[in-house]
Structure 1
Amino acid sequence: MEFIEVVRRRRMVRRYAAEPVDPAAVDRMLEHAIRAPSAGFSQGWAFLRLDTPEAVARFWRSTSPDPEASNTWLDGMRTAPVVIVPLSNKSAYLDRYAEDDKGWADRDEDRWPVPYWHVDTGMASLLILQTAVDEGLGACFFGIPPAQIASFKAEFSVPDAYHPIGAITVGHRLPDTGAPGTEARGSAARRTRKSTTDVVHHNDW
């Protein structure tokens, strides 16, 4: 698939077919994710790959305020056979920039204008989303409720230094038939995409 088609076809898919995902395709998503840029080549990220029904069920149980809840969004997202959780590690960045070649003698977080540990992990996540499209699959990035992060980390023994920036469901997207219940549509179905004229400021604001 041409790169321009990957970009144009990428969108958040919220309901999936029962067909399993080829593990080799997930391998490629993660191989591409670690090609993302990172400040100081810190690479302070990790990815929790959940690709069995038991592991995926544990994810939804640990991240849902009410595991028995049922609604269009949840019911659709739970059909995904694969969940990838990207995690960032702030300490890796603070440690990296305290090394001799960076010139900082401390780990002062105030030196960072934005939390690049989250930014870089987000860029890695986009590569996962784009690779999913290139593999003929669908994917959706979404947030984990803050109140559920501790239970998620405990469920999967995630080290304290790592923080989930969200999660990505992956699976075979259902065809857009328009039939009720076949696909949970997101905000993009109700809002117009802004043009470059709306958001690009050329040489001055």
Structure 2
Amino acid sequence: MNDSGRGADMPPGFSDDFRDALDRLFVWRRDVRHFRTDPVDPAVLDRLLATACLAPSVGLSEPWRFVRVEAPARRAAVRADFARCNADALAARTGAEAARYAALKLAGLDRAPHHVAVFCDADPAQGRGLGRRTMPQTTTWSAVMAIHTFWLAATAAGLGVGWVSILDPARVAAILEAEPGWNFLAYLCVGHPETPADSPELERQGWERRNPARRAWIMR
């Protein structure tokens, strides 16, 4: 028996205090765009990436591929691609909505001390295809689960994560010399948030609001 009186193979018990803290973690997990520039302890970042790999995956395929982007030239190339894509997105809007879009802070690329790109190996040998024959996209969903696991773990460690999606996947894959068969999913900015918040920035800026109707469950 271990010190808690439970057998070594018994699942842990989770207290009410733990569940309350977990609920707060979900609330405080935000898409961060304003970062301090001081770096994260390398051991902490390594631990968070290891935690991300505890995510569930179809057939135990573990299709996620995390790439830490450290080279200034590569970061600058990704930043330039964001600028191009963001300009195109702005040009597609008109009137007041264009002005509102232009005022949004949509990325923390310039200040976040760490950049992590996430790819998915769409057809990994690991897992031997289990669960993917009729729904091959489950490898992508598995990799997204790893991103979310990383995000929650980073929030629990007092760090912020911002998901930059205004990028061209093919160009980013070329910039980072991704392996053939790797599909680009996310470019994450990671660091200490300037001002943690328990509400989405887009909501605070009046771009969009949460929809209470999405909390309804449909019964069939």
Same fold (TM over 0.5): yes
Query: 2 CA distance for matches of 1:30 and 1:21?
Result: 13
Q: Which amino acid aligns with 1:90?
A: A
| Structure whose alpha-carbon radius of gyration is higher | 2
Q: State the number of aligned residues.
A: 184
Residues 52 and 156 of structure 1: CA distance in aligned 2, closer, same or farther (over 3 Å): closer
Residue number in structure 2 paired with 1:142: 164
Select 1:121's aligned residue among 137, 143, 152: 143
Residues 137 and 16 of structure 1: CA distance in aligned 2, closer, same or farther (over 3 Å): same
Q: Runs in 1 of length 4+ with deviation above 6 angstroms?
A: 66-71
Query: 2 CA distance for matches of 1:24 and 1:5?
Result: 25
Residues 22 and 96 of structure 1: CA distance in aligned 2, closer, same or farther (over 3 Å): same
Select 2:116's aligned residue among 81, 84, 95: 84
Q: Does 1:187 align with 2:209?
A: no
SS in 1 for 2:140: helix
Report how far residue 171 of structure 1 moved.
1.0
* Runs (5+) with no aligned partner, structure 2: 1-17, 89-101
Deviation sequence 1:100-125 (CA, Å, 0-9, x none): xx5x9xx86xx11x611111111100
Report how far residue 129 of structure 1 moved.
0.8
Report how far residue 71 of structure 1 moved.
7.1
Q: Does 1:6 align with 2:25?
A: yes
Select 1:174's aligned residue among 179, 189, 194: 194
Over the matched positions of the two proteins, sequence identity in percent amounts to: 23
Report how far residue 89 of structure 1 moved.
1.3
Residue number in structure 2 paired with 1:199: 215
Report how far residue 77 of structure 1 moved.
3.5
Report how far residue 75 of structure 1 moved.
6.7
Report how far residue 84 of structure 1 moved.
1.1
User: Which stretch shows the higher mean deviation, 46-55 or 20-29?
Assistant: 46-55
